[in-house]
Structure 1
Amino acid sequence: MIVGVCKETEALEKRVALTPEGTEKLSKMGLTIYIESESGLASSYSDQQYIDSGAEIKKRNQILSETDLLLAVQAPLAEDLEKMKKNSALIAFLWPLQHKKYVDFLLNADLTGMAMDTIPRISRAQSMDALSSMSNIAGYKAALLGANHLDRYLPMMMTAAGTIPPAKVLVLGAGVAGLQAIATAKRLGAVVEAFDIRPAVKEQVESLGAKFVEVPLEEESETKGGYAKELSDQNKEKQREVIHKHVAKSDIVITTALIPGKPAPQLITRQMVEDMSAGSVIIDIAAEQGGNCEVTEPGKTIRHNEVIVDGPLNLPSSLAHHASKLYSKNILSLLDLLIKDGQPNFNFDDEIIANATVTHNGELISPFVKENMK
């Protein structure tokens, strides 16, 4: 069985799907590893490291045409998939709910598409949870970006010239990214508040030393899978009123709220931004899905009414070395479950394999994708 890795083609993508450490582990499983030259260079992994780990450096077209299993971070372009042999498999971030045409292409091409973003969030799958791995990095970097943009200290400073009070940081969304943003902002010395529509995360927020902002809601705000759920208009309005007060008094606001398969919920209105103090900062890491802030421009840092609004794209890629290391380990955990006797075993009785496998043998498989596409 040949496992292939090609150089990522997305403009902002510096990660690689398999590290030399991961290559060595797959080689010991008896698999042949093809790597395109310079695939790991942007993540600080050289071709020689891959060769020393048991990989063979091959040209892109040969990898695509001969590989049985292609590993990638971003979903490869359709023109690359056209070169893959029938019944071969792809593992990557596919985002099938947002990219229905891509799913159709995989079906028509008889390619097995496994999505790292549809692995269920159950305890047995934690080591494969690439969404959490990447969100952790995004939350950390978001806090650093906020501190970098802010023209003030984050911690309280007692100086001969007087005492400077600590900065106030508000984190909207207390998933993995939000919790890491809270932890990082606290380590930098800020006073931190956090809001999430899921009351169950209150304990986690408070355990990190932040104050939880509560909004009493009259409906369930969490899916069975532990994700945030879209609210009714009435509850959205109630939520906005509370958030408005806290946004107005914050020096840094970090927004991380996402709903699987849907545009990011708008949490910060234009009016809220205009009520913030001059020099305040918003870091909207939901920018790739449209953003949580009304004035966010994805991929740009703008000033709106003297408030800095940053909508960064692909934050995990900005820490490419460690992001690749974690992503590679997530893939290896999935392959430990998938590969039996040197070949992939698509056992759809296994909840993890079933949900991760979007397409196989020309059929839509994943129950998660089927349910949410309805």
Structure 2
Amino acid sequence: MCMAVIAVTRERRAEETRVAAVPETVKKLIAAGFEVTVEAGAGAAASYPDSEYQAAGATIAKTAKEALAKADILFKVRAPADEEIAALKAGAIVAALLNPYQDKAIVDALAKKGASAFAMEFVPRITRAQVMDALSSQANLAGYRAVIEAAEAYGKALPMMMTAAGTIAAAKVFIMGVGVAGLQAIATARRLGAVVTATDVRPATKEQVESLGAKFLAVEDEEFRNAQTAGGYAKEMSPEYQAKQAELVSSHIAKQDIVITTALIPGRPPPKLVSAAQVASMKPGSVIVDLAVEQGGNVEGVKLGEVAETANGVKILGRPNLPGRIAADASALYARNLLAFAGLLLDKEGKLGPDYEDEILKAALVTQAGKVVHPQLAS
């Protein structure tokens, strides 16, 4: 059997602590018929030393250029840097969180190199692809970490505490957006003893919110009850409904101790969920965590990479890459996503031979044979 070589290189983006393979997945990739080369130090920031990769059967390369010299496939967390793209073999396969809508120059560079590049963000959310769903695996951890970050910044306890010196009231936490990150944020805040409410434009999320012990907040009129398509997507609401919902949310935000926003729309700027006026209505010491900060943010006044403190004493946390703040677990989950994805790159004989008509590969492929081929990206 002619073994395909997978390279895993060190992440070069500032403050990226994750790695695209962990010793557990290296061992399984080798068992599946791949050879694996890992750049020295690639897993160090996620607490995976080179010695563990060697013990799992990987070859350790001193540099990215050395790691990529014979590589048929490159696995990354973020998109490869210019020097990595330059070192790729012609026709090499790349799988990473490419951020293709924002990082179009990198997509173009991969196309120019002749790489077959897959954006893990574009893996379709179908049953067969659930184990490859990197957006969900990382959003789950981001939702958890958002609550931990908020609890650290908040100057009080989250649970109700009854002491001889008196009772401490439970913190009030409001989650805006009930996707994967939002649901995990609800569950985590509840575990920490907070009183949790949540809102979303999709009526089907109400049951999910309530199943986690939180209260759902929405103007639940006839329009709301019919606000979802047969495919599970939200319908655009009327201006009248939007005004009623905004009034309800505004009065609610003013009473909250912690607000966490999670709304992202692929290929478009994130919606503005919290206005400056709403921030100004909150109590001193309140905390807002904006999970959409890297794409522009859900909160007016959020600053990427900073904790912005307003005149009325509200902290707006704009910390990027929350999964990277739990690097060991985030890397392990992402590496398992790539392990499952790697199986699609082999033919029935176990040789490298992706079926580009496979619905998962077809949905995730962004560049091939010198061209940008994804319909949402091709100009």
Fold in common (TM above 0.5): yes
Change (3 A) 1:223 1:347: farther
Aligned CA RMSD, in angstroms, stands at: 2.2
Deviations, residues 231-268 of structure 1 (Å, cap 9, x unaligned): 67666544432221111110000111111111111100
**1:278 aligned to 279, 284, 309, which one?**
284
Residues 1:317 and 2:287 aligned together: no
Report the equivalent of 2:11: 8
Separation (CA, whole Å) in 2 of partners of 1:292 and 1:364: 30
Separation (CA, whole Å) in 2 of partners of 1:138 and 1:82: 32
Separation (CA, whole Å) in 1 of partners of 2:129 and 2:160: 41
Separation (CA, whole Å) in 1 of partners of 2:105 and 2:229: 26
Once the 2 structures are TM-superposed, how far is the Cα of residue 104 of structure 1 from its aligned partner?
2.1
Once the 2 structures are TM-superposed, how far is the Cα of residue 350 of structure 1 from its aligned partner?
2.0
Deviations, residues 70-106 of structure 1 (Å, cap 9, x unaligned): 0000001123202211100100001222233322222
Report the equivalent of 1:337: 344
Change (3 A) 1:164 1:275: same
Once the 2 structures are TM-superposed, how far is the Cα of residue 354 of structure 1 from its aligned partner?
0.7
Report the equivalent of 1:75: 79
In structure 1, give the amino acid aligned to 2:132. Answer: M
Report the equivalent of 1:134: 138
In structure 1, give the amino acid aligned to 2:177. Answer: G
Separation (CA, whole Å) in 1 of partners of 2:292 and 2:361: 28
Deviations, residues 109-151 of structure 1 (Å, cap 9, x unaligned): 2111111110011111110011111001110011111111112
Separation (CA, whole Å) in 2 of partners of 1:228 and 1:17: 33
Report the equivalent of 2:45: 42
Separation (CA, whole Å) in 2 of partners of 1:315 and 1:323: 9
Once the 2 structures are TM-superposed, how far is the Cα of residue 321 of structure 1 from its aligned partner?
0.5
Report the equivalent of 1:143: 147
Report the equivalent of 1:211: 215
In structure 1, give the amino acid aligned to 2:272. Answer: Q
Report the equivalent of 1:350: 358
Q: Please state whether the residue corresponding to 2:68 is helix, strand or coil.
A: helix
Once the 2 structures are TM-superposed, how far is the Cα of residue 205 of structure 1 from its aligned partner?
0.7
Residues 1:260 and 2:266 aligned together: yes
So what's the TM-score if we normalise by structure 1? Answer: 0.93
Deviations, residues 37-72 of structure 1 (Å, cap 9, x unaligned): 011111111111111111111121122232110000
For structure 2, the 5+ residue unaligned runs are none
Report the equivalent of 1:243: 249
Report the equivalent of 1:54: 57
Separation (CA, whole Å) in 2 of partners of 1:228 and 1:320: 33
In structure 1, give the amino acid aligned to 2:123. Answer: I
**2:303 aligned to 294, 297, 320, which one?**
297
Separation (CA, whole Å) in 2 of partners of 1:140 and 1:3: 31
Deviations, residues 192-211 of structure 1 (Å, cap 9, x unaligned): 00011111111111100011
Once the 2 structures are TM-superposed, how far is the Cα of residue 278 of structure 1 from its aligned partner?
0.8
Once the 2 structures are TM-superposed, how far is the Cα of residue 182 of structure 1 from its aligned partner?
0.3
Q: Please state whether the residue corresponding to 1:240 is helix, strand or coil.
A: helix
CA contact (8 A) 1:240 1:267 kept: no
CA contact (8 A) 1:64 1:81 kept: no
CA contact (8 A) 1:173 1:196 kept: yes
Change (3 A) 1:47 1:265: same
So what's the TM-score if we normalise by structure 2? Answer: 0.92
Once the 2 structures are TM-superposed, how far is the Cα of residue 290 of structure 1 from its aligned partner?
0.9
Report the equivalent of 2:30: 27
Change (3 A) 1:323 1:293: same
Q: Please state whether the residue corresponding to 2:136 is helix, strand or coil.
A: helix
Separation (CA, whole Å) in 2 of partners of 1:176 and 1:237: 27
Separation (CA, whole Å) in 2 of partners of 1:336 and 1:344: 10
For structure 1, the 5+ residue unaligned runs are none
Percent identity between the aligned chains?
Answer: 47
CA contact (8 A) 1:227 1:259 kept: no
Report the equivalent of 1:95: 99
CA contact (8 A) 1:205 1:212 kept: yes
Aligned length: 371
Separation (CA, whole Å) in 2 of partners of 1:94 and 1:231: 32
